[in-house]
Structure 1
Amino acid sequence: MTQFEPPRMGEPYLLTPGPLTTAYEVKEAMLRDWGSWDGDFRAMTASLRAQLLGLLGDAATEYDCVPLQGSGSYCVEAMLGSFVPKDGKVLVLANGAYGLRAAKTMDYLGRACHLLDKGDYLPPRGAEVAAILANDPAITHVLAIHCETSSGILNPVEEIAEATFAAGRKLLIDSMSAFGAVEIDVAKVPFQALVSSANKCIEGVPGFGFVLARKEEIAASKGNSHSLSLDIHAQWDYMEKSGQWRFTPPTHAVAAFLKALEMHAEEGGVKGRGARYTRNRDVMVAGMRALGFETLLEDRWLSPIIVTFFNPADPKFDFTRFYDLMKAQGFIIYPGKLTVVDSFRVGCIGRMDEHVMTRVVAAAKSALDTMGVASAAPPAAALEERKKLAA
């Protein structure tokens, strides 16, 4: 028994990029009802905003925090619709499903977009960004995905930011699955806006996301938004004047998040949380490789958030059965979200530690044995494809 065992509830571990396994104390915080207009809840909202700004360190004075109801994709759309003018153009850097979703969002918004699609294996690099920006002066913004969870790539946002800043363009970051565990220094990554979600590395529950943006960008965004509900300026303006959310807030999720923020600070903040997740990844990856599994990505691109593995080539391997066998042992994994090869994903985040990850590996071995899978090695063609694309 470790301090990261789900206490008293008996639910399985969620080895996903969020929603994820939360602490009992976080669940317990949702047992009280809150009045959305009450002064106590307004104080909770103010505390939430201040604590999230505090994670930016000394640069927090230049930024403000705007929480927004809905899932992470709501916040990404809100960021694009609010901060990109109607005559603006976004360079979307994609290497997985979430970059492609952002490009699709631009289509829905009816705003110009240049898509750089790197496929599933590789990150966008600063030199590529610089070349595209040099050749297209109409591009006003660059959108980077901090951690692309469909593959598990941790993208090099510092070099992307350097190229963007050098070209005089503005950087927007989808840090949905990384913020709170992967340090982002605004001195090295001078972003205009960043979005993340309550149910990721802070280890809260679903219900809202948040935008961290330069105050001057928020002020200048008035009138840009295509949407009443997703207008960041309107949400910010109303909160500044009243301390309240414009529309019904997820009160229980906010209460849970404040407890999660408290536990995040007790663990050592971003560095402490990131260190635990990194250890989770390293123990799990080493164990899975010992069973014959192979990661989609080279080690240098592996994030501490989620890891993608090739499906074994053995014809006795069936992912649906593997999933069910893992669930029966207390672990819910994630199916793959790639277009080129069959894969599955194992998350490293949530209320668990390396001892839990050792049990994950043991459960995977048990599942393989039950299915009669002799080797978890991937198809040779998948490894050749990875080698070719990474060359």
Structure 2
Amino acid sequence: MGAEKNVTGAGIFEAPALGEPYLLTPGPLTTAYSVKQAMLRDWGSWDGDFRAMTADLRRRLLALTGDTKGEYDCVPMQGSGSFCVEAMLGSFVPKDGKLLVLANGAYGLRAAQTMQYLGRAYTLIDKGDYLPPRGDEVAAALDADPAITHVIAIHCETSSGILNPVLEIANAVYSRGRKLLVDSMSAFGAVALDVNDIPYEAMVSSANKCIEGVPGFGFVIAKKRELEAAKGNCHSLSLDVYAQWAAMEKTGQWRFTPPTHVVAAFIEALKMHEAEGGVPARGARYEKNRDVMVAGMRGLGFETLLAENWLSPIIVTFFCPADEKFVFNRFYDLMKEKGFIIYPGKLTVVDSFRIGCIGRMDEHVMRRVVEAARQSLAEMGVTDAAPPNAALEERAKLAA
């Protein structure tokens, strides 16, 4: 089992350990060999060494927020990203409060569904798949409904790949005296979310996204005053952010069995993130990945779902070609044979697929992705990757 190699000068991240394919997804994603290696040791969740690891994890994550005043704290939570979103909503939206959900894809709609399960009041702005919610729309909704206490924005909506304008949303929220919650699941660590620019009350992200760790836990970063005010508010024992925070502050331990190996891997990933140059450098690599891959795919005839100004550096959605010889499942299998796992589309109105830009890979890998796509089309007998006219017409209509 050989260690990951980095070819000096070329900057190439070679194929993952054990001949694994690259994961061109929004997380789980391709991780460094050293991140995998960090999981080879067992840890006692109650032991002082592991408590020190938890404290280090929290400190390193807070350092990415720009908080120099000590107003925020970090609370890791077991489970996937959706667990953490539910924990945030159930802990910080009061039982007598009301949430404005900003949706333009599956994850905004999932936040609304979560509120339904919680039985707490909410209202929804649903922009569909093509456009972001804008600050003036948020302002109008808040002016029209004084009962709204909180707003949740999705930083990067990965069902379409759109990067939402959280700064203008934050300005609209705070100018009207409301509170902002941010689902930065797929963006934190690569797209700036500095609390000095966007003073959110709380945000959530996950270990297996832009920090390039592995799945198993997420984390909530919240104002300490909001954590204190959340006492007794949560609907759930295990998803209570206040209770988790209070326990960690008192004992240094997680309340319930933590994913010890995942935490060890994540700390290694955080060290690599820092060594790369932090959020700006990680984001720049992902942007280059996106630009090289999108240019190459367009050169093959593919069209992106979104207009250029809304393309995120996280994941890009492409229309499926109109050619009747193109069958996505066959395309998926051919890409996998060549070492790349892509992602199915998650849209309701058109056939699409997605290619992620994040993970332990660079622009050289993305050129190989484009070449694999070219070969796969040829093997399928697809001579034109252009989408159906109806898909382009639908995009134009809905984006108007």
TM-score, with length taken from structure 1: 0.99
Partner of 1:51 in structure 2?
60
**1:292 partner SS:** coil
> In the alignment, does 2:365 pair up with 1:356?
yes
* d(CA) in 1 for partners of 2:28, 2:347: 20
* d(CA) in 1 for partners of 2:341, 2:251: 42
AA paired with 2:78? Q
Aligned residue among 137, 154, 175 for 2:184: 175
Partner of 1:12 in structure 2?
21
Partner of 1:123 in structure 2?
132
Partner of 1:65 in structure 2?
74
* d(CA) in 2 for partners of 1:118, 1:56: 28
Partner of 1:244 in structure 2?
253
**1:142 partner SS:** strand
CA contact (8 A) 1:162 1:188 kept: no
TM-score, with length taken from structure 2: 0.97
* d(CA) in 2 for partners of 1:253, 1:120: 33
Partner of 2:3 in structure 1?
none
Q: Deviations over 1:59-106 (max 9, x none)?
A: 461100000000000000000000001011000000000000000000
Runs of 4+ in 1 over 4 A off after TM superposition: none
* d(CA) in 2 for partners of 1:3, 1:344: 26
Tell me the C-alpha RMSD between the 2 structures: 0.8
- State how many pairs are aligned: 391
> In the alignment, does 2:381 pair up with 1:372?
yes
AA paired with 2:224? K
Percent of aligned positions with the same letter in both sequences? 77
AA paired with 2:66? G
- In structure 1, list runs of 5 or more residues that go unmatched: none
Partner of 1:84 in structure 2?
93
* d(CA) in 2 for partners of 1:274, 1:187: 19
Partner of 2:395 in structure 1?
386
CA contact (8 A) 1:6 1:24 kept: no
AA paired with 2:117? Y
Partner of 1:326 in structure 2?
335
1:167 shift after superposition: 0.8
AA paired with 1:348? C
* d(CA) in 2 for partners of 1:134, 1:63: 28
CA contact (8 A) 1:143 1:171 kept: yes
1:316 shift after superposition: 0.4
Alpha-carbon spacing, 1:159–1:240, altered in 2? closer, same or farther (3 Å): same
> In the alignment, does 2:227 pair up with 1:218?
yes
Q: Deviations over 1:182-219 (max 9, x none)?
A: 01122221100000000000000000000000000000
CA contact (8 A) 1:86 1:111 kept: yes
* d(CA) in 1 for partners of 2:138, 2:148: 11
CA contact (8 A) 2:99 2:121 kept: yes
* d(CA) in 2 for partners of 1:8, 1:183: 30
1:8 shift after superposition: 3.6
CA contact (8 A) 1:120 1:151 kept: yes
- In structure 2, list runs of 5 or more residues that go unmatched: 1-6
